[in-house]
Structure 1
């Protein structure tokens, strides 16, 4: 039972609240029964489970289990009402290969939006998600919670979107960009056999440099008085359309 917040191990766990340390160690922290169960059901590696005193959660047999005091758990927790269970998970690195359906995300800053985009791509049957530079960290605790476990079920890549788009187009993948200017209503375009969808920043949209790579620019008609759609909602409509 770890009881001191000054324990070196506790200090290492706390560092995982910071993106640079998550990237340096290749690990991240998740909280709650559902997310940990989803991680254990996937092919991601759960390195260690941290259990608050009095909790009865039992991890997989090959996972290290560490019990901690209430005070220690409060120190590492980032939720208002912690469930008393957390885990250190190792990031899974796989090489990017063009597939049939790809979601490309450019500079989305809100962790709730990014998490919802990942969750929706999983629900819509997309093959993978590429998170470009300028995006909030997909391994941010708020982003992870918003994915509701989909993070562990759909491959997530991080990198330069321009390079990824060139690879996709070389594999005859049609690239759609969600945009307002010089765009066609999405339903008027033929549905491609293989497609990638780019969605952009909540306020600025997709960078012009990326728009130049798009095979098609598409928009979703708005019939009421709303100025625009939330990026995750717009992406959901277009992803389900592309899935067919």
Structure 2
């Protein structure tokens, strides 16, 4: 258990944390910032590699995080009872000023806590390839962080096996993306990679690749999602890229009876995933 206090905005640790707001520094350090009580709690509850929790010096550790805080870790080391025996023991807890928290967080009015978390190792792909009847969402070039976060959150909600993110997609560890996942980022495998290399591997393992198309002959409600299915969704304006579309096995269309021209990519993904869940778990 390590606990300390930092009050200077010029502290080297503070400068390093603030740099993580930029993608190039997140990539260089393989770390990212998680803001707010709920997301920090989800990171601590999961198998995420939380390095540091920074909380407001005046307010103290938020009540929701007390179970995982230094006092419980200390009690655990002494063999005393605590509220949650799973509290991670290698987390560094630092009290800091409100000014430091504001400097390191992306939101204008941040909550009084954030965490520094190591990125996951890219080892989730083999689990997805080997999963029987896997349901996977593949994201090809989605640019809006809110859309990407919502797609990950929906995949978590329906019990999908994972999400694969292709190059050209908004950064998974963008602060807005992380917030939009509402903690689902820590609940299922999210793999980044080159789709033109990864998708043939999925096909070789028996997965069917499916995407939406206005020219599709099958409705999304008549398609069978019960076998291993990788649902590919594309850029908000351009859709799935030509190189990825060339690998697709089946195309489907989401029928619309009103006058809307199209659905937001996150909404469309939600429609497809919930139909897949209905067929897999609620068809009787």
TM superposition score category, shorter chain reference: over 0.9
Partner SS for 1:187: coil
Deviation for aligned residue 1:187: 2.1
Q: Distance in 2 between matches of 1:14 and 1:162?
A: 35
| 5+ long unaligned stretches in structure 1 | none
Encode CA deviations 1:40-75: one digit per residue, 9 max, x unaligned.
110111100011112232444321111111221211
1:67 matched to 2:87: no
Q: 1:70-81 maps to which residues of 2 (within 5 A)?
A: 70-81=98-109
Preserved contact between residue 124 and residue 239 of structure 1 (Cα < 8 Å): yes
| 5+ long unaligned stretches in structure 2 | 74-88, 280-284
Provide the TM-score with structure 1 as the length reference: 0.96
1:142 matched to 2:176: yes
Higher gyration radius (CA): 2
1:123 matched to 2:151: no
Encode CA deviations 1:187-239: one digit per residue, 9 max, x unaligned.
23333411000000001100111111111011101110000001011101111
Provide the TM-score with structure 2 as the length reference: 0.83
Aligned residues: 244
Partner SS for 2:148: helix
Q: 1:45-194 maps to which residues of 2 (within 5 A)?
A: 45-57=49-61, 58=66, 59-60=68-69, 61=73, 62=89, 63-93=91-121, 94-97=123-126, 98=129, 99=131, 100-194=134-228
Preserved contact between residue 216 and residue 253 of structure 2 (Cα < 8 Å): no
1:25 matched to 2:29: yes
Q: Distance in 2 between matches of 1:191 and 1:129?
A: 16
